[in-house]
């Protein structure tokens, strides 16, 4: 082996942008609770219902949503990534989707303040640490430090098979992702060439410029397993957590404090701080009764086959837990991994309770994004500010 190889213990770990006061991430973390928008870059958003709405997966729609969220003072937007065969999940969520990495990169040119989080399956296809480090540093400069990435390993067998191999065992995926991301972080920090002869990737005299503006780009994980949480504790600024007891708010809010505390303790055990963000579907109307009627109408036209069914085999620990708790109503309403249904006061109170449970940010999705986000901005944001939850 070449004498230029470094032992992993000697790899550099650049500082998190959270530790640098001038970074856009540090500005977002000043909020008592962060607000994000889960962009519907896939057909059907998060709900497989045919109730009429304007939500669509197109770039122009999502760019307009991002600008709307930025004008309202939201802190971040995020897009998922998926690789599905023809037809997708059903005839609503039919597989039409634009790529998260490309979409969020393009959003840097039409925004100025909001954080932009892509999703990348780092084990799929052609990704190499050098590609990732170079592309990420470039986007860091284009966005002036606002770009980040949700590093995922892929939980659906069909996705791995699309790229020509059998699904890698769950915990093994995180071991490989650790090798990948550790090499990337070293490349972001290193002032000298870097060589690595690993289990999956090889680098000989690798080097990238430019270096990121604030240590490194923002790093995120969406995970709920022990292996995933340990990975996030070592590497990430945010963890997109799932409710350990399914989507129903009143049940989840009782379990979240202990769960969130355990996730954050895993990071503190390795000398780091990890912020918890939860994805929530908000069904909002002028009052609670109207919101309940809205939810009932969505459910009445909903398909039973969607994201969280067994149509495509998954070994994600979080979705398995969700399946054990959710009723048919929660499954049909869909959404992220928590559901908030109500008028403005109810929605604001739910976000306050999430803050009390230890949540650092709420990433919102809606059914009909443009009007529902507007109503949230008009009626809920003032309540959050009055409660001291938003600056």
What domain range includes position 320?
8-386
User: Domain for residue 340, yes or no?
Assistant: yes
User: Domain for residue 191, yes or no?
Assistant: yes
Alpha-carbon distance of 261 to 239, in angstroms, equals 13
pLDDT of the residue at 2: 42
- Determine contact, residues 96/61, Cβ cutoff 8 Å: no
Relative to beta strand 275-284, strand 218-222 is: unpaired
Q: Write the pLDDT tens digit of every residue in 289-301.
A: 999 999 999 999 9
pLDDT of the residue at 299: 95
pLDDT of the residue at 310: 61
Q: Which of 109, 137, 105 is nearest to 119 (CA)?
A: 105
pLDDT greater than 70 at residue 167: yes
- Determine contact, residues 165/92, Cβ cutoff 8 Å: no
Mean pLDDT across the stretch 258-282? 97
pLDDT of the residue at 328: 85
Mean pLDDT across the stretch 218-245? 95
User: Domain for residue 322, yes or no?
Assistant: yes
pLDDT greater than 90 at residue 368: yes
φ and ψ at residue 249, rounded to 5 degrees: -60, -50
pLDDT band at 116 (very low <50, low <70, confident <90, very high): very high
pLDDT greater than 60 at residue 1: no
Provide the number of structural domains found in the chain: 1
pLDDT greater than 60 at residue 174: yes
pLDDT of the residue at 118: 98
User: Domain for residue 3, yes or no?
Assistant: no
Long-range contacts of 131-134 (CB under 8 A, 24+ apart): 132/180, 132/184, 133/183, 133/184, 133/187, 133/188, 133/208, 134/208
Lowest mean pLDDT among 97-106, 156-165, 223-232: 156-165
The mean of the pLDDT values for the chain is 93
Q: Which of 171, 362, 377, 389 is nearest to 252 (CA)?
A: 362
Q: Which helix (H) or strand (E) holds 120?
A: strand 115-121
User: Domain for residue 240, yes or no?
Assistant: yes
CATH number for the domain spanning 242: value is: 3.20.20.30
Q: Which of 43, 110, 72, 131 is nearest to 334 (CA)?
A: 43
Cα–Cα distance list, 296 to 127, 332, 339, 349, 352 (Å): 43, 10, 13, 22, 25
User: Domain for residue 391, yes or no?
Assistant: no
- Determine contact, residues 177/192, Cβ cutoff 8 Å: no
User: Domain for residue 1, yes or no?
Assistant: no
pLDDT band at 314 (very low <50, low <70, confident <90, very high): confident
């Amino acid at each position: 082996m070449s004498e230029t190889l470094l032992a992993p213990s000697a790899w550099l770990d650049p500082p998190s942008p959270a530790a640098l006061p001038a970074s856009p991430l540090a500005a977002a973390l000043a909020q008592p609770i962060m607000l994000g928008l889960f962009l519907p870059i896939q057909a059907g958003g998060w709900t497989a219902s045919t109730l009429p709405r304007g939500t669509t997966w197109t770039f122009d729609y999502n760019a307009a949503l991002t600008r709307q969220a930025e004008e309202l003072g939201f802190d971040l937007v995020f897009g998922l990534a998926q690789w599905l065969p023809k037809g997708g999940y059903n005839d609503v969520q039919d597989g039409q989707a634009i790529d998260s990495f490309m979409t969020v990169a393009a959003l840097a040119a039409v925004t100025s303040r909001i954080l932009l989080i892509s999703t990348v399956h780092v084990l799929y296809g052609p990704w190499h640490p050098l590609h990732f480090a170079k592309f990420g540093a470039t986007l860091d400069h284009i966005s002036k430090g606002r770009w980040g990435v949700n590093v995922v390993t892929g939980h659906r067998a069909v996705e791995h098979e699309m790229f020509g191999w059998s699904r890698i065992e769950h915990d093994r995926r995180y071991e490989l992702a650790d090798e990948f991301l550790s090499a990337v972080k070293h490349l972001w920090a290193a002032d000298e060439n870097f060589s690595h002869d690993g289990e999956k990737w090889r680098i000989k005299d690798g080097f990238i410029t430019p270096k990121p503006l604030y240590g490194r780009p923002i790093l995120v994980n969406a995970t709920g397993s022990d292996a995933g949480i340990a990975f996030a504790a070592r590497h990430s600024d945010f963890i997109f957590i799932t409710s350990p007891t399914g989507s129903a708010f009143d049940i989840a809010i009782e379990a979240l404090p202990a769960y969130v505390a355990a996730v954050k303790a895993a990071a503190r055990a390795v000398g780091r701080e990890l912020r918890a963000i939860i994805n929530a579907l908000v069904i909002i109307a002028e009052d609670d009764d109207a919101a309940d009627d809205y939810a009932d109408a969505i459910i009445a036209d909903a398909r039973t086959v969607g994201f969280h069914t067994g149509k495509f085999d998954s070994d994600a620990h979080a979705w398995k837990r969700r399946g054990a708790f959710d009723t048919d109503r929660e499954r049909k309403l869909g959404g992220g991994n928590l559901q908030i249904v109500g008028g403005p006061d109810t929605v604001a109170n739910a976000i306050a309770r999430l803050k009390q449970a230890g949540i650092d940010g709420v990433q919102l999705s809606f059914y009909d994004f443009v009007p529902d986000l507007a109503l949230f901005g008009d009626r809920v944001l003032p309540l959050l500010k009055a409660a001291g939850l938003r600056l």
